[in-house]
Amino acid sequence: MIPFNKPFIIGKELTYIEEAVKSGKISGDGMFTKKCQQFFEQKYHFPKVLMTTSCTDALEMAAILCNVEPGDEVIVPSYTFVSSANAFALRGAKIVFVDSCHDNPNIDPVEIEKHITEKTKVIVPVHYAGVACDMEKIMELAHKHNLFVVEDAAQAIDSYYTFSDGTRKALGSIGHFAAFSFHETKNIIAGEGGMLAINDPQYFDRAEVIREKGTNRSAFFRGEVNKYGWVDLGSSFLPSEIISAFLYAQLENLEIIQKKRLEIWNNYQNGLSALQEKGFITLPDMPSYATNNAHMYYIVCRSYEERTNLIQYLKAQDIHPVFHYLSLNKSDFFLANNPEIDIPNSDHFTDCLLRLPFYYELSETEQHKIIELINSFFT
Amino acid sequence: MIPFNKPFIIGKELTYIEEAVKSGKISGDGMFTKKCQQFFEQKYHFPKVLMTTSCTDALEMAAILCNVEPGDEVIVPSYTFVSSANAFALRGAKIVFVDSCHDNPNIDPVEIEKHITEKTKVIVPVHYAGVACDMEKIMELAHKHNLFVVEDAAQAIDSYYTFSDGTRKALGSIGHFAAFSFHETKNIIAGEGGMLAINDPQYFDRAEVIREKGTNRSAFFRGEVNKYGWVDLGSSFLPSEIISAFLYAQLENLEIIQKKRLEIWNNYQNGLSALQEKGFITLPDMPSYATNNAHMYYIVCRSYEERTNLIQYLKAQDIHPVFHYLSLNKSDFFLANNPEIDIPNSDHFTDCLLRLPFYYELSETEQHKIIELINSFFT
Ligand SMILES: Cc1ncc(COP(=O)(O)O)c(/C=N/[C@@H]2[C@H](O)[C@@H](O)[C@@H](OP(=O)(O)OP(=O)(O)OC[C@H]3O[C@@H](n4cc(C)c(=O)[nH]c4=O)C[C@@H]3O)O[C@@H]2C)c1O
Ligand SMILES: Cc1ncc(COP(=O)(O)O)c(/C=N/[C@@H]2[C@H](O)[C@@H](O)[C@@H](OP(=O)(O)OP(=O)(O)OC[C@H]3O[C@@H](n4cc(C)c(=O)[nH]c4=O)C[C@@H]3O)O[C@@H]2C)c1O
């Protein structure tokens, strides 16, 4: 059986968990949480990072930091995971869904501009498959209209964007805030886990408070105040040290993981390119400003029916590819409060995009088996 | 050094984490999450249990399930952790703080009744130190005024309440919902972790949806629908399997842990009772309807100054007792939007209550040292 995803232990995950327990602290914000935060801050130049229990929770922190409230509008791609929208809906915002680009699932800046109104407060670009959205255009729109940008970088660890002047920045370091995921389907995993990057120093203190149940507990534990209390809204966004210890062991092996994933990605791309040339499927498109973090390998079929048949064909051989998001403008929750709208590119990816098995331990033999079967399905 | 708290590994915590990874699933709602849920449902007769990332998050789920919204009032003791209030403040509720009983920190039902208005929607009894609030009276008030009861059972695992007709029920199984914590300071730990007990079947389905980011993903993975989508508000409330695996190993040793904690508790109670008789301190009071889950051992000093001196005296011997909550009606966040109010019993516990070191690995020698020093401080 070749599953879509498979979690893995790569280094000292269990040793570090044991160490955390022995150190006398496994609640949030212990030694391993700090090590993870430092790792990310140093490697990707995020001004500040706070580990969270999930990317969803990091998005919720961002929504509170942006002071999103009823009456505000938040622009989100329709082709994304529910959390990109839900985190803002929880604060009472009106979600304004816009379309993907024609040739890739990322949000279309032209469509964003069309949907900006006086009530717009936030734009949420989602870097699908770890491939950068057109951040230069998006940041220009944000500056022009005085909007927050919250990058949904759930899939975008270790990926970059190059501006037209040649400057290259890590995804997640460009908007005001960025949310990452360490869900088991991501490059670096902790089962469930996430982090928030805070790129504007004026939000450092409040972010810390919101993450600690609305208290100044972090300042207390640094010895800055002699008791801590309730000072703001907040939640318990901080992960157990058990999670951070596991994650840190993965981070120590980031380069090994990324090298392996890139090999898998390239094998897929090479092995399936003939099918693209023959017009059977479309392969991922890498814009010149983006890098490839090998988060995901997807193909786009010509129709929903063909994709369904391909899934069945591969499942019969015990290979488990999976479709992905469902246009959120067609969800029950959205339609309960909003009229129907037409978002065609998002619908196309909803119907035709297929993710192939992709995980650290996927062997070359397995990769070749998958590639061969897909080729034989079409030809 | 004798710290206030010390996390511990007692059984197969690490083996189970490894097993979870090998099973192919460490994201939420895997095998160990289900085992934990079943354990609690069977042992304490909760109709349904859902594991969460923290007690705070379980309280937030309850707030969404109660449809708390701006304009609603929620009654919360002033002497509690921030989260008991914050979870409802996040939904826009007005928090109405009421006082503790005179002789113990639990919420006073007489005070609750005085504060019920037409806008009241929820009462949040907090079972301080795992000792039951007067649930019979509280449930009567709730029925009379058609209110929700959300038990903050953060500290109340393995504790019971006996009704006047002799029926005995586990804490957390009496209100509509109950939130528990597995924070490292609790009896059973996962660093950070929690669960929601849902005691009314009409909320089972929605609870599952809210916990899964507002999607019907749980139904999808049971095969009840052929794709999942956005159907409600929600968040990612589900813990990593790594957390549940750790927790399950602790649960397998629940009886051993509880036996040991009860011994520690009784040693403190016996060793300090002479000081109570002499009027120096007050020891915990156990109402006839409550059981003792040995979550915490606290003493109540005669004054803030005396408590401060005692803390300093013990710290000089490298023993680390800690005070606890600060009356929430005096917090910056509350006072920013509300007038000053007087809540005297809560202030008394804020100033005078002291928690003594209490953890599974606290040795008899250490216990006796602490007891002797406290005795020598006063006499
Ligand atoms: C009823 C109730 N409801 C909900 C939840 C949520 O559970 P989740 O965590 O699962 O979401 C909890 C959980 N609370 C636990 C602890 O019980 C709580 O004490 C505190 O623990 P800490 O690690 O912060 O530290 P500590 O060891 O309690 O004290 C350390 C120093 O801090 C000083 N202090 C303390 C307080 C509290 C405060 O307001 N102000 C303050 O200046 C006292 C000391 O010197 O917070 C934890 C999360 C709860 O009890
Ligand atoms: C941009 C973005 N923003 C925010 C976050 C939040 O991160 P946190 O988790 O850290 O909070 C994420 C994270 N998402 C991950 C996955 O990427 C996502 O795919 C999904 O993974 P699943 O385990 O559910 O399953 P799967 O393997 O993706 O598919 C399994 C089957 O489910 C069918 N399916 C799938 C979807 C998605 C859907 O809507 N409807 C649907 O019927 C397809 C298959 O048959 O959810 C995860 C949390 C994100 O991507």
pLDDT tens figures, A111-125: 999 999 999 999 999
Low-confidence ranges of chain B (pLDDT < 50): none
Chain A interface, mutation test: which of B236, B244, B350, most A Cβ atoms within 10 Å? B236
Token pair, residue A122, equals: 């936030």
- Tens digits of residue pLDDT in A229-274: 999 999 999 999 999 999 999 999 999 999 999 999 999 999 999 9
Q: CA dist A307 to A282, A302, A354, Å?
A: 12, 8, 7
Question: How far apart, in whole angstroms, are the C-alpha atoms of residue B284 and residue B349?
Answer: 12
pLDDT at A150: 99
Shortest distance between the Cα of B286 and any Cα of chain A, in A, equals: 28
Q: Which residue has the tokens 């979600």?
A: A95
pLDDT at A291: 98
Q: What's the angle, vertex CA A298, arms to CA A296 and CA A302, rounded to 5?
A: 170
User: Which ligand has its closest atom nearest to the C-alpha of A321?
Assistant: 2
Q: Do B241 and A191 touch (CB under 8 A)?
A: yes
Token pair, residue B14, equals: 């690490």
A54 lines ligand 2 (CB under 6 A): yes
Shortest distance between the Cα of A140 and any Cα of chain B, in A, equals: 31
pLDDT at A362: 98
Q: Do A21 and B8 touch (CB under 8 A)?
A: yes
Chain A interface, mutation test: which of B69, B221, B241, B242, most A Cβ atoms within 10 Å? B242
First and final C-alpha spacing in chain A: 24
pLDDT at A223: 93
Question: How far apart, in whole angstroms, are the C-alpha atoms of residue A191 and residue B21?
Answer: 9
Q: Which of B137, B125, B215 is nearest to B176 (CA)?
A: B125
pLDDT at A212: 97
A235 lines ligand 1 (CB under 6 A): no
Are B33 and B239 contacting, i.e. CB atoms less than 8 angstroms apart?
yes
B325 lines ligand 1 (CB under 6 A): yes
- Tens digits of residue pLDDT in A101-110: 999 999 999 9
Q: What's the angle, vertex CA B265, arms to CA B264 and CA B268, rounded to 5?
A: 85
pLDDT at A117: 98
R_g over Cα of chain A:
21
What's the gap in Å between B280 CA and the centre of ligand 2? 59
**How does A198-222 read in b/e, with b if 16+ C-beta sit within 10 Å?**
bbeeebeebbbbbbbbbbbbbbeee
Q: Do A56 and B326 touch (CB under 8 A)?
A: no
Are B40 and B195 contacting, i.e. CB atoms less than 8 angstroms apart?
yes
R_g over Cα of chain B:
21
**Mean pLDDT score across all residues of chain A:** 98
- In ligand 2, the atom with minimum distance to the C-alpha of B230 is 39
What pTM, to 2 d.p., does this model score? 0.98
Nearest-CA residue for atom 31 of ligand 2: A322
Question: How far apart, in whole angstroms, are the C-alpha atoms of residue B189 and residue A319?
Answer: 38
B125 lines ligand 1 (CB under 6 A): no
* Residue in chain A nearest B92 by alpha carbon: A91
Side-chain half-sphere exposure of B89, counting CA atoms within 13 A = 24
H or E element at residue A15: helix A13-23
Give the helix ranges, DSSP H, for chain B: 13-23, 31-44, 55-65, 82-89, 109-115, 135-145, 204-211, 217-221, 241-251, 254-277, 304-316, 332-335, 344-352, 364-378
Low-confidence ranges of chain A (pLDDT < 50): none
Are B350 and A227 contacting, i.e. CB atoms less than 8 angstroms apart?
no
